[in-house]
Amino acid sequence: MKSDPEDVAAVIAFGRSTFRKMVENLIWATGYNIVAIPLAAGLLYPLGILVSPAMGAVLMSLSTVIVAINAKRLSFR
């Protein structure tokens, strides 16, 4: 921040962008967990679909990486 009054508008815009990115990440993580948790619990086991604990860990890590990449796309101009 400098002493320039226009910086206030830039910081407000950045705050809005940050909030929007937080909502995107929350939606992604919620949607992922809605699908992944029942799979990991064996809900589709009667159909022959079973996620091993190791694969569940890999998928959870992938979800974390996707959220981090999405957050990294936030830029302050």
pLDDT for position 2: 72
In which band, very low, low, confident or very high, does the pLDDT at 41 lie, cut at 50, 70 and 90?
confident
Q: Report the distance separating Cα 51 and Cα 58, nearest Å.
A: 11
Q: Is the model's pLDDT at 1 over the cut of 70?
A: no
In which band, very low, low, confident or very high, does the pLDDT at 77 lie, cut at 50, 70 and 90?
low
- Residues near 33 by beta carbon (within 8 Å), at least 6 away in sequence: none
The answer to whether the pTM exceeds 0.85 is no
Query: Hey, what are 27's tokens?
Result: 């939606």
